[in-house]
Amino acid sequence: MELDPNVKFVVGKYLARARAGKVKYGTDTERDDLKFWDWLNHLQEELMDATIYIQRMKADIEDPERLNPQLELDLNEFE
C-alpha cells in the first residue's frame, strides 16, 4: 500500500524537525528534566505562537497593502 503523498511529506517534515531540534538543543522529548507542568507550558507557548501566525496570515489576506515596510505599529494601543 502506498502512503498518501501528503502524509509522506508531513512525516518527512517531522523527521527533519526532530533532527534539527536534537542538533539545536542536544536533546529530544525523552528528556527527563521537565515536569508535566513544564510540558504544558511549552505547549501553551507554541499554541500562542500559532495564533499569532494565524492572525498575521489573516491580516495579509484582508489587506495585502499592510506589508508596506514603512508601516510602524503603535504598541501603546495594546496597553
What are the tens digits of pLDDT across the range 8-51? 999 999 999 999 999 999 999 999 999 999 999 999 999 999 99
**Higher confidence at residue 32 or residue 79?**
32
Confidence of residue 77 (pLDDT cuts 50, 70, 90): low
Q: Which residues contact 18 (CB under 8 A, 6 or more apart)?
A: 28
**DSSP alpha helices (H): ranges in 2-71?**
5-25, 36-62
